[in-house]
Structure 1
Amino acid sequence: MVVKDGLTNKEAARRLEKYGENRLETKKEFTGLRILLQQFKSPLIYILVIAASITGALGEWGDTLVIGLAVVLNTLLGFYQEFKAEQSLETLNQVLAPKAKVWRDGQWQTIEAALIVPGDLVRLELGGRIPADGIVIEADTLSINEAILTGESKPVNKLNQQSKVFMGTIVASGIGQMLVVKTGSQTEMGKIAKSLKTTQREETPLQHQIGKLSRILALVVGFITLALFLIGILEGGNWLEMFETAVAVAVAAIPEGLAVSLTAILALGMQRILKRKAVVRKLVAAETLGATTVICCDKTGTLTQGEMQVVSAITSLNPKSNLPAGRQSSELDLLIKAAVLCNDMRDPLEISMMEWAKKNSKLPAGGEELNKTYPRLDEIPFGPEHKYIATLHAIDHEPQATSQMLFVSGAPEVVLHKCQMPSAELKKWEQKFREAGNKGLRLVGFAYKKVQDQKSEVKEEDVNKLEWLGILLYEDPVRPGVAEALAEARQAGIDIKVITGDYQETAMAVVNKLKIHPKNLKADEVITGDQLEKLSDEALRQKIDKIVLFARTNPLQKLKIVQVLQEKGEVVAMTGDGVNDAPALKRADIGIVVESASDVSKETADIVLLDSNFKTILAAVEEGRKIWENIRKVITYLLSDSFTEVVLIGGALLLRLPLPILATQILWVNLIEDGLPGMALIFEQASQGVMQEKPRSRHAPILDAEMKTLIFIIGIITDLFLFALFYWLLKQDLPLMEIRTFIFTAVGIDSLLYIFSCKSLKKNLWQINLLSNKFLLVAVAIGFIMLLAGIYLPVLQLLLKTVSLNGWEMAALIGFGLFKLGLVELTKYFFLRH
């Protein structure tokens, strides 16, 4: 079969069956079941499931039901948020599903790129994405932007037959045809996608600390439970009764509402971040942002807009002869003519050139009038050998004219040397080229001459003795707001490192322009991929703190940089959009991509930016820090209550007193009285200056020494009062059910009042606005209603084994709670002062 005949639909179907669809091998398919099962991968959930199993085995179905509800609520909340995020991305991917034009059955057909097979003939057009790996068989000024694979923003010419093109890259100029050689996972992009399976991601700081806290809780609960059980048996107690008692202590020690509250905090954080234009795909990623210590930025498309624009035109080296933009000089007028006439609009540079010409003249759209006035007679297309394009034009507005115009544009040093110019001036222009190149600018040179002889064609020997017109300078402009966002990042104590596949000079110009470093970069603050390749991990570890820019890097080198930073204890966020970024994105603690990123990059990312704005990352970091602060408040609150309940029950058992509160009552307090206000803490506003603080260490514990001391002191104060109340009530010879109702009510009221103390861990009640969190006020009100329901509703009295209390008794218990709250705040005041 001749290549140019393409395939028949029948043959294409046979090959599709043989080679499979043209899709990348990614992670497991997005399914609701997979997301649901992931919600159970939490040490806190493991503890709750074990507790529910034990209470169920003992026949305590009320306890089992309440613990089970906590597990179900946590699971559904986490599932809902992650499912919604994945669904949004799935919809986005379906809308953006790529198409391709293939030659089948003797005609061009538009099909889904997934149905392309080896042997297909595919048409390549400006702006189109290459659907598979292949070889070029026809090309007309064809160049490909391979930044998605290499990180280099400069398009690569593909003017020769047999030039290779790769899946995911984009046609930057010209048109052509390719023969598909490899599809799906056999492509270069597919190989990178496969390599991601061997790239492991470390636990996030929150996962690590929650896991650590859960293990400590499990050990403490296990030790206390076993100790009390053995003490009871040694003192002649019934083993079943002692086991049930030990389980009651275990239930008291486990903050059942913690898992639900943590999930709710993270879910709310996801919603807040979404409002600030970013989709968080995984719950824990929302908090990890707040711990970020280093952001590794890709340059092209993240810091810059990823498209070249004309920033200035130079027609003379004498500053006085360069008129401001919009003002016409004869040189500038000729330069504009050259930019329009010597232009095929097949290249991003040529498109930008035309936009500049229209902006700086009164040209109609597209310059059609100028093209009519100077119709093109012939051309020499741009080629990598001669590095210019030359166009020959008639002069229609001069009917008797015997001359024609030859315009030339291309590599400035090439065009310049074809001009008539004194040697000294030529050297000055060459120096100007070098200066502009060192600033990361790209240049296009222009020249012209009048051709006296009437010609119908132009040859290379005609391109000489030209008149120099000047140069256009291009840059990939930085995204609006990026410089300010980078300054905010530094203020927040976050280190910025730029990792790019682009040239060192180009990247340095961007870094210096954005002032990522206070001063212009020095030699020892920049490293290239070749230099990086020669460094061992240990050598890089010693240098990496000082390095700001990594240029000309490949995917494995980007991965190495992220790994070394993590080994030094940094929490790394990595931004990128290309397949070449995917391994590093997956390894980083937080992988961040823009909405237009490759599918492989999106698959590995934790966060997708909907507005491609670096400032959105900082907004997400701020939300992450708020999440961490509120997590600490919730944990302090819930553990204080759990500690109080454990000491209260443990103390009663050691003194051979009856249980002051039952397991079912503890669960009611932990899930209803503690759970609702605890969840309402997630709506607390962060303390002022949260983005002026240094990021916490990867190994920073959730509970620092101060918080542990505070929990201990508050717990002891509460226990002393509750134990004194319990002992006094026992001496009054009241029925045990009534005494337990008193203690149950006292613990519930104490929880509902103490929550206000946890609104701020850094200030006292009189220094904060107690009414600022409307959700908390509602939660406390509901908590009081549910507490009263547990005391007065017959059905709940039966479940909780409570009796009704009179008004005076309730008032006394509220007064008791307020008095204890005052003591807690007094303790907190002295503690914070010292």
Structure 2
Amino acid sequence: MSSYKGLTDSEVIQSRNLHGANIITPPPQTPWWKLLLEKFEDPIIKILIVAAIIAIAIGITNGHYLEGVGIIVAILLATIMAFINEYKASKEFELLNNVNDELPVKVIRNGGVTSVPKRDVVVGDIVIVDRGDEIPSDGVLLESVSLIVNESSLTGEPSTNKTSIPTDSFKTTYSPNQVLKGTTVTDGHGIYRTTAVGDSTEIGKTARAATVEVNNPTPLTKQLQKLSEYISSAAFFIAILAFVILTVFDLINPANSYTLEQEYILAVTVIAIIILLAKYWVPSVNAILSWIKLSAKIHLPYPNNTRRQMLVLLASAMLLVLMGLVIAVLLNIDIFNTSVVLDSNLLSHLLSYFMVSMTLIVVAVPEGLSMSVTLSLAYSMRKMTAENNLVRKLQATETMGAATVICTDKTGTLTQNRMQVIEWDFQGDTGSNELPILVKLSLAVNSTAHIDFSHEPYTIVGNPTDGALLLWLYQKGIDYRVLRDGFTTLAQHPFSSEKKYMLTLGQSTDFEGKLLLVKGAPEKVMSMCEPQSLSSSVLEKLRGFQVKALRTIAFAYSKSVVDSIADSDMPQGLTFLGIVGIADPLRDDVPTAISECHMAGIDVKMVTGDNQDTAIAIGKNAGLLASNAEHASISGPDFEKLPDDEALRVLPGIKVMYRARPTDKLRMVSLLQRLHNVVAVTGDGTNDAPALNQADVGLAMGSGTQVAKDASDIILLDDSFSSIVNATRWGRALYQNIQKFLYFQLTINLVAVAIVLTGPFTGFDLPLTVTQMLWVNLIMDTFAALALATEPPHSEVMKKKPRSPHEFILSSAIFRYLITTAVLFYLVLVGLLIYLKHDEGFSDRDLTGFFNVFVLMQFWNLFNARRLFGGVGVFSFSSNKLFVAIATIILLGQFAIVQFGGEVFRTVPLTGKEWLIHIIATMPVLIFGYLAKKIIKI
């Protein structure tokens, strides 16, 4: 190893300037202006634009066109704000996806082994790869030991043998001495010199890695899509129905004094509009029929192809108009009289009713819902990353909040992963500082770890257990690099969870003949040894180490005459060499974190490869096991022997599984899921990948193998169990934030729809104008989505049992609270309309006051939504300053619209006294929200 000096710092800079960074150029991004224009593809926005143009056209004739201009301005504000928020969220996702380029890689630089981010690997770098690592660049092998690489990402070959020996004849796609970026080491280890990085690599040329990952809809997204479809269907149906009813009422109203010609034109126009909008109301009717279980008997057909659909609808409307003209001529109805057709009274009434129906759609459809989910996910993911949880898959964020069981590793997750040799007992050890040569070789050569000597304190690069042994050697004045340089490795098979041991076959300059060195679990190594080499004191020592919760490793050796050994061959007839006890202290925060999980209704199970004594000792210290709870533990082999029925019966009571193998872990996860649990699993090794894949949420260790990370949903950058608890906390908060927004927005929608429908029957067609509704629904809801989406987890979030993953997001309790709030708001607002009405109708000041009270009631209800699940005071400003800022912006925006909106928003300035009355009169919404929540028990 010391024969490789690697690049110097200056050579690294030169190489990066010459060949570029180790980053694959991402695929071309859609220009921002295209993303902005896409916001105008929304059917509702298109309808509103048409309505605004009609309003302006009619307004030009009567001098009242500012409302149409106001609609366009409101549309622009709403779409631009939605674009800015979603664009920002997409950039946050992009940053999170780039974190993969920061994962550490082992390289040799300046004559020593060190760790650098993957993106910093340059051409000429000497890279060390071990089992489970992803190869960070293309290169040529300098050394290899039993190296097997999974090249399926490039060639489809899951298992390719690699060798450092160049050859001109080979049957594989790439030369056996060539390794490629993006492939994974499945066995063995090697050293290679980088020949290409970034776009110059094979995978960079084929642009496979540049493919954008398409995330399938999550269960939460599906729920929200279904809810939006229900609401939209109902909204379109109600809107068309309201338009027809209002028009019919207008036609039969004698006060309007319409002529026969005008009534005829109005009837034909309404029918034509109904036909043109069939693409919206037909699906709505079908959806409603499906709700009332009549879809099997009644189903309105319409063309499925969009273009054909529009042509059919347009042709039908034109045919109707043509028939109307023919009938009018036959009946001598003069419909061509311009004074009749262009009568401003007729057109304004028709536009008014059309506006009512469009307003119903605007206020009913929850446009801010998807943005609330996007913002909540982006914000939660960013915060989780800041707390050492790198989220790789969106659904993991929400699913983690529903976790009922966490199956956790011990080393590094519950413990500090700072292993130190505390106790040892070697044959031939005289007690002096000098160790026997066989012990030195066993610790230095039969290992895959390295020490980074580039800065103090020295750090371990690679396997922490192997690294602890190397540091112990170094503390005794022994440089493992010298021993490795004097050893010729003929075969090496790294440690695996299935085998429970590692072996190295080779020849040392310090020892005559070939040596087979073995280390691993004591019971495994001892089973390979000659009985006479095992003294009775060894078993006593071993038991003493294990009772102290030390991780024990046994060593053995034999002289060999063979030049190779297969991975499947288990050596026999070894000579026992000794044992060491390694201490890995429990993390200080683990007992508190596990206690918090138990309080939150989450069961924690430890799955470890350690022996029973060590596992139980750690389990007790961590708070997983009571002092007399040995019956709550089971070994992997014993668990394997249990039939499924028996395993399902005992599994809830199992807290610790020791001597566990990957298959035991996988089976445990599968059986827990059969018991309807949402299971989160931690893992760091290649063999943990099946369990990580099977789990509802797979959490890979940041120090683990690339295979484990690729199989995971979340990467724990600090390997800490507390980070898992934080992920659960954020997952629950995310779900609750979306529920808060649903409550807030649907309350507004229900009240606004009811008010708009009630308005004509109180003597005023539009108590709230389209521009006012756009402010309330599109702009105010956009702000509310941002405010509620950024609410951090509160103290109460971990004091409740996990939610059911099958529970509808709008729970029955929240729905009752929503309906109760909406009914109260509706009664208050209708009462206010009746109070304000007088013989002359409504004055502009009356309608301005009504609009202001409506908005202020929703403003205070935003605070009710914030504290829907408790944990935060109504006016608690310190926990979320962004919420306070947004609430202030909403209030200032409302003030500006009322005071300066004028004809565009149909408002007149209010006095300071009126503002004070409105604010004080609407503040009881907070008291009502508190009392209603207590009664409904959310």
* TM-score class normalised by the smaller sequence: 0.5 to 0.7
Q: In 1, distance between residues paired with 2:431 and 2:695?
A: 50
1:758 aligned counterpart, secondary structure: helix
Q: In 2, distance between residues paired with 1:702 and 1:798?
A: 41
Establish whether residue 787 from structure 1 lines up as the match of residue 886 from structure 2. Answer: no
- Aligned partners of 1:437 and 1:505 also within 8 Å: no
User: For the structure 1 residues 365 and 86, does the alpha-carbon distance in structure 2 shift closer, same or farther, using more than 3 Å as the test?
Assistant: farther
Q: In 1, distance between residues paired with 2:37 and 2:399?
A: 20
1:478-520 deviations in whole A, cap 9, x for unaligned? 77755654454333322345678xxx66699557734556544
Instruction: Please state how far the C-alpha of 1:641 moved relative to its aligned partner.
Output: 2.1
TM alignment of 1:682-693, pairs within 5 A: 682-684=789-791, 686-693=793-800
Q: In 2, distance between residues paired with 1:652 and 1:554?
A: 67
Establish whether residue 804 from structure 1 lines up as the match of residue 909 from structure 2. Answer: yes
> Which of 766, 770, 776 lines up with 1:659 in the alignment?
766
1:332 aligned counterpart, secondary structure: coil
Q: In 1, distance between residues paired with 2:560 and 2:920?
A: 101
Establish whether residue 52 from structure 1 lines up as the match of residue 159 from structure 2. Answer: no
Match of 1:273 in 2: 384
Gaps of 5+ in 1: 1-22, 102-110, 117-121, 150-156, 178-183, 188-192, 317-328, 395-403, 448-457, 461-465
2:806 aligned counterpart, secondary structure: coil
User: For the structure 1 residues 250 and 485, does the alpha-carbon distance in structure 2 shift closer, same or farther, using more than 3 Å as the test?
Assistant: same
Instruction: Please state how far the C-alpha of 1:656 moved relative to its aligned partner.
Output: 6.0
Deviates more, 1:56-65 or 1:698-707: 56-65
Amino acid at match of 1:93: D
Instruction: Please state how far the C-alpha of 1:577 moved relative to its aligned partner.
Output: 4.5
Establish whether residue 93 from structure 1 lines up as the match of residue 108 from structure 2. Answer: no
1:762-783 deviations in whole A, cap 9, x for unaligned? 5699x75555554444433332
Match of 1:492 in 2: 600
Q: In 1, distance between residues paired with 2:637 and 2:95?
A: 41
> Which of 418, 426, 433 lines up with 2:535 in the alignment?
426
Instruction: Please state how far the C-alpha of 1:750 moved relative to its aligned partner.
Output: 1.7
Amino acid at match of 1:441: T
TM-score (normalizing by structure 2): 0.60
Establish whether residue 709 from structure 1 lines up as the match of residue 823 from structure 2. Answer: no
Q: In 1, distance between residues paired with 2:243 and 2:896?
A: 33
Deviates more, 1:612-621 or 1:357-366: 357-366
Match of 2:850 in 1: 743
1:86 aligned counterpart, secondary structure: helix
Instruction: Please state how far the C-alpha of 1:259 moved relative to its aligned partner.
Output: 3.9
> Which of 776, 793, 805 lines up with 1:698 in the alignment?
805
User: For the structure 1 residues 313 and 597, does the alpha-carbon distance in structure 2 shift closer, same or farther, using more than 3 Å as the test?
Assistant: closer
Q: In 2, distance between residues paired with 1:703 and 1:285?
A: 20
1:292 aligned counterpart, secondary structure: coil
> Which of 327, 342, 346 lines up with 2:445 in the alignment?
346
- Aligned partners of 2:554 and 2:577 also within 8 Å: no
Q: In 2, distance between residues paired with 1:201 and 1:543?
A: 37
Q: In 2, distance between residues paired with 1:286 and 1:83?
A: 18
User: For the structure 1 residues 712 and 582, does the alpha-carbon distance in structure 2 shift closer, same or farther, using more than 3 Å as the test?
Assistant: same
1:348 aligned counterpart, secondary structure: coil
User: For the structure 1 residues 599 and 770, does the alpha-carbon distance in structure 2 shift closer, same or farther, using more than 3 Å as the test?
Assistant: closer
- Aligned partners of 1:200 and 1:587 also within 8 Å: no
- Aligned partners of 2:489 and 2:504 also within 8 Å: no
CA RMSD of aligned residues (A): 6.2
Q: In 2, distance between residues paired with 1:632 and 1:220?
A: 21
User: For the structure 1 residues 54 and 597, does the alpha-carbon distance in structure 2 shift closer, same or farther, using more than 3 Å as the test?
Assistant: farther
1:120-163 deviations in whole A, cap 9, x for unaligned? xx998889968599xx99989x46799999xxxxxxx999999x
Q: In 1, distance between residues paired with 2:733 and 2:123?
A: 47
1:740-770 deviations in whole A, cap 9, x for unaligned? 32221111222223333334235699x7555
1:630-661 deviations in whole A, cap 9, x for unaligned? 33333222222222212211222355642211
Match of 2:276 in 1: none
1:690 aligned counterpart, secondary structure: coil
Match of 1:441 in 2: 552
> Which of 430, 440, 464 lines up with 1:331 in the alignment?
430
Establish whether residue 758 from structure 1 lines up as the match of residue 865 from structure 2. Answer: yes
TM-score (normalizing by structure 1): 0.66
TM alignment of 1:74-473, pairs within 5 A: 74-87=82-95, 89-90=97-98, 92-93=100-101, 142=145, 168-169=184-185, 203-236=217-250, 239=270, 240-241=350-351, 242-281=353-392, 285-297=396-408, 310-314=421-425, 331-333=430-432, 336-338=435-437, 341-342=440-441, 345-348=444-447, 363-364=476-477, 366=479, 413=526, 417=530, 426=535, 429=538, 441-445=552-556, 470-473=578-581
TM alignment of 1:532-551, pairs within 5 A: 549=657, 551=660
Match of 2:787 in 1: 680
- Aligned partners of 1:354 and 1:366 also within 8 Å: no
User: For the structure 1 residues 148 and 733, does the alpha-carbon distance in structure 2 shift closer, same or farther, using more than 3 Å as the test?
Assistant: same
2:431 aligned counterpart, secondary structure: helix
1:441 aligned counterpart, secondary structure: strand
Gaps of 5+ in 2: 1-21, 54-67, 110-118, 153-160, 171-175, 194-199, 252-265, 271-349, 451-464, 494-501, 520-524, 562-573
Q: In 2, distance between residues paired with 1:62 and 1:392?
A: 88
- Aligned partners of 1:204 and 1:288 also within 8 Å: no
Deviates more, 1:565-574 or 1:754-763: 565-574
- Aligned partners of 2:133 and 2:706 also within 8 Å: no
Match of 2:715 in 1: 608
User: For the structure 1 residues 436 and 312, does the alpha-carbon distance in structure 2 shift closer, same or farther, using more than 3 Å as the test?
Assistant: closer
TM alignment of 1:720-735, pairs within 5 A: 720-735=827-842
Instruction: Please state how far the C-alpha of 1:668 moved relative to its aligned partner.
Output: 0.9
Deviates more, 1:489-498 or 1:466-475: 466-475
Q: In 1, distance between residues paired with 2:750 and 2:855?
A: 14
Q: In 2, distance between residues paired with 1:608 and 1:35?
A: 31
Deviates more, 1:743-752 or 1:560-569: 560-569
Match of 1:11 in 2: none
Match of 1:623 in 2: 730
1:728 aligned counterpart, secondary structure: helix
Q: In 2, distance between residues paired with 1:762 and 1:378?
A: 65
1:299-351 deviations in whole A, cap 9, x for unaligned? 777667889864521359xxxxxxxxxxxx97322873446654583333897
Amino acid at match of 2:597: A
User: For the structure 1 residues 220 and 497, does the alpha-carbon distance in structure 2 shift closer, same or farther, using more than 3 Å as the test?
Assistant: farther
Count of matched residue positions in the alignment of Structure 1 and Structure 2: 714
1:267 aligned counterpart, secondary structure: helix
1:67-123 deviations in whole A, cap 9, x for unaligned? 56445534543443343343354365278689899xxxxxxxxx999999xxxxx99
Q: In 1, distance between residues paired with 2:741 and 2:772?
A: 21
- Aligned partners of 1:482 and 1:514 also within 8 Å: no
Q: In 1, distance between residues paired with 2:686 and 2:504?
A: 30
- Aligned partners of 2:442 and 2:555 also within 8 Å: no
Instruction: Please state how far the C-alpha of 1:221 moved relative to its aligned partner.
Output: 1.9
User: For the structure 1 residues 828 and 32, does the alpha-carbon distance in structure 2 shift closer, same or farther, using more than 3 Å as the test?
Assistant: same
